[in-house]
Chain A
Amino acid sequence: MSEPKATETNKPIPPSRDRQRQARRRFLRSVLLTGGVFGAALSGYLPIAYAQKKRLRPPGALDEKDFLASCIKCGQCVQVCPVQAIKLADLVDGFGVGTPYIDAREQACDFSCDAVQCILACPTGSLTYKKPDFLKVRPGAKLAEKPILLAKEKDPEPTLNMAERIGVARLTRPESCLAIKGKGYKGPARGADFKGRLRYMQVDRWKPIRVRDHAYDVELCDLCVQVCPVKGAISIETVFAPDGSKRKSPVVHEPCVGCGACEMICPTDLASIEVIPGEGWRA
């Protein structure tokens, strides 16, 4: 490459035509790449803005917007969960690539870890025992008292150190509820192929087992009450049906934290009781 000779007037030499064209093309390509990357970046953002379906986040999760802001997407909560209830969202799920969620019907959180390990593992405070003061509390999210974990009831410290619920269980399909129909239930709750696990205190205090390995035999279905890990969160009560007749029905109470164990165990085809993510308690 020969150096251009300095002209007598010592003016800077304008770049050659070729150079100019090259520079222009490079500029255009750069603009193109910028557009491409930002397009892709926004495609990652838009589904969240339009997310129709709310997802159940792990226990102690901040409100959705703050949760998305603070989650670093490392999956440490996934790693510590003894029943592997927590999964990471994918591109098409539309609520943040790599953010954790719980599909309660498949595998609910049953607090087998006793101490809410996912909260302890979270490095950014997306899952937290105590929200920073500047963040608002959703209406109805605040628990009246720290929930008592039935498994630890006799321990000196029997509570789950949670201040807010992640959702509330509701009887969304009362028409299919076996208890309301007055029916009992026999056999494993969710069939022989179901992979979900739960901790059964009467079987093993420390190790969750497959739900399919635990057969039920009840006169009146109360599986949701049986598996609920929190004291006083659900019970079978006598209620009056619209026609005035007395019925039995599961009734959710204020201590419900929204873990979804009832939704997971419900033996009807579509769960009669479901946890509504982010929902607050309404008396």
Chain B
Amino acid sequence: MSELLRRRFRDQIKVLFGNEPKKPAAIAPAAQEIHLYKKGNRDLIAEKLHARAHAVHTNKWRNRRWATLVLANLLFVVSFWLDIQVLEGALTASRFVGFHLIDLNSALQVMLAHKHIINNLLIGTGTVLVLWVIFGGRSFCSWVCPYHLVAEWAEKLHLHLAKKKLVTDQPMDRRLRTVFWLVFAVLALATGYTVFEAISPTGILSRALIYGPGLALLWVVALLVFEVFFSRRAWCRYACPIGLTYGVVGIVSPLRIKYTLEGCFHEGDCRKVCLVPHVLDTVIKGRAVEKEVPIGPDCTRCGLCVDTCPTGSLKFEVKGLSKLL
């Protein structure tokens, strides 16, 4: 990793905690050459139009992701309803054919509130930690969390209404999520009660699916209404401490999206579909510090940008795997 990428990596960790991405102070000569080549190049415009005309938009990754998300949650449901005991429990804690799996954020809340850790809790948390280090941290959000899916649909509605100028997105300060994370941690520690679990839409939805609906779903509905009419994807973007916990896991994960500068037309289609567009700051004209730039840890690895990109400049990558092969 070059010094520039290392610096960017550090910046992206700050972005995860709520900093706004900055213009890079220095850019590698190889990348600068491409930036300069693209500047005012009229051929590029023709090329861009050509690429636009022939772009095939697929929903490959979205479909795979939705299928995985639905299957994972369905496995919980049928395990209980048909008593096949494959994946017992809910998203907060479960057992996959006997192996404990415990959600990192829930485990953290319990550890802080209860101040006592039993072996099963430790084993389950460790297993899940390893699992999401391998699979990309916040990929939990987009590939498993049931709230993510309903919020994605709510987002579609929001964008539809925004297009008709019926609603406007009200962005908020992203540092809020870090504040929430800290406050919920302190609350758990101080009150001895897992306060966040009471309002976690992930837990509420997961339990509603498995054990039947309850009035707690009203809170989830309230969140969705807020997101549709007021602020796009507000919970996932500005509030959810689960996202931040898995984001931290994503720092060390080898599975990520990689950006290739060369073919990119810098039109920003990817940033428009992205849940966390601040991680895609590198696609802005003149910002990429190297020819290839990995996307930061706050990325949920949802693959919407991969599907959307007309030039294939954004791709899934496992760090070090291409070197190995």
> Given the interface contacts A73-B207, A76-B94, A124-B120, does A66 sit within 8 Å of B88 by beta carbon?
no
What is the chain B residue whose CB lies nearest that of A66? Answer: B114
A89 CA to B118 CA in the complex, in Å?
24
Asked if A194 lies at the interface with its beta carbon under 8 angstroms from chain B, I say no
Shortest B242–chain A CB gap in Å is 13
Q: Is the CB of B113 within 8 A of A69?
A: yes
Q: Is the CB of B219 within 8 A of A40?
A: yes
A48 CA to B234 CA in the complex, in Å?
28
A193 CA to B103 CA in the complex, in Å?
40
* B-facing residues in A97-122 (Cβ within 8 Å): 97-98, 121
Query: What per-residue 1/0 map shows which CB atoms of B81-108 lie under 8 Å from chain A?
Result: 0000000111011110000101100110
Shortest A47–chain B CB gap in Å is 9
A88 CA to B203 CA in the complex, in Å?
12
Interface residues on B, range: 35 or more
Query: What per-residue 1/0 map shows which CB atoms of B185-227 lie under 8 Å from chain A?
Result: 0010001111111110001100100110011101100000000
Q: Is the CB of A74 within 8 A of B113?
A: no
Shortest B156–chain A CB gap in Å is 22
* A-facing residues in B57-96 (Cβ within 8 Å): 79-80, 88-90, 92-95
Residues of B within 8 A of A40 (CB): 199, 219
Contact of A98 among B187, B192, B197, B218 (CB under 8 A): B197
Binds A, one of B39-47, B129-137, B167-175, B264-272: B167-175
Asked if A27 lies at the interface with its beta carbon under 8 angstroms from chain B, I say yes
Asked if A79 lies at the interface with its beta carbon under 8 angstroms from chain B, I say yes
A91 CA to B204 CA in the complex, in Å?
10
Residues of B within 8 A of A124 (CB): 93, 102, 110, 114, 118, 120-121
Q: Is the CB of B110 within 8 A of A76?
A: no
Asked if B162 lies at the interface with its beta carbon under 8 angstroms from chain A, I say no
Q: Chain A: interface secondary structure?
A: helix
Q: Is the CB of A76 within 8 A of B95?
A: yes
Contact of A65 among B94, B121, B192 (CB under 8 A): B192
Q: Is the CB of A74 within 8 A of B93?
A: yes
Residues of A within 8 A of B180 (CB): 34, 37
Q: Is the CB of A44 within 8 A of B199?
A: yes
Interface residues on A, range: 35 or more
Contact of B116 among A73, A90, A134 (CB under 8 A): A134
A135 CA to B99 CA in the complex, in Å?
28
Query: What per-residue 1/0 map shows which CB atoms of A156-180 lie under 8 Å from chain B?
Result: 0000000000000000000000000
Shortest B115–chain A CB gap in Å is 8
> Given the interface contacts A70-B113, A72-B106, does A125 sit within 8 Å of B196 by beta carbon?
no
Q: Is the CB of B214 within 8 A of A41?
A: no
A91 CA to B219 CA in the complex, in Å?
9
Residues of A within 8 A of B199 (CB): 37, 40-41, 44
> Given the interface contacts A90-B215, A91-B214, does A45 sit within 8 Å of B191 by beta carbon?
yes
Asked if A278 lies at the interface with its beta carbon under 8 angstroms from chain B, I say no
Asked if B231 lies at the interface with its beta carbon under 8 angstroms from chain A, I say yes
Contact of B179 among A34, A48, A76, A91 (CB under 8 A): A34
Asked if B146 lies at the interface with its beta carbon under 8 angstroms from chain A, I say no
Residues of A within 8 A of B120 (CB): 123-125
- On A, residues with C-beta under 8 Å from B are 26-27, 29-30, 33-34, 37-38, 40-42, 44-45, 48, 65-66, 68-76, 78-80, 88, 90-92, 96-98, 121, 123-125, 128, 132, 134-135
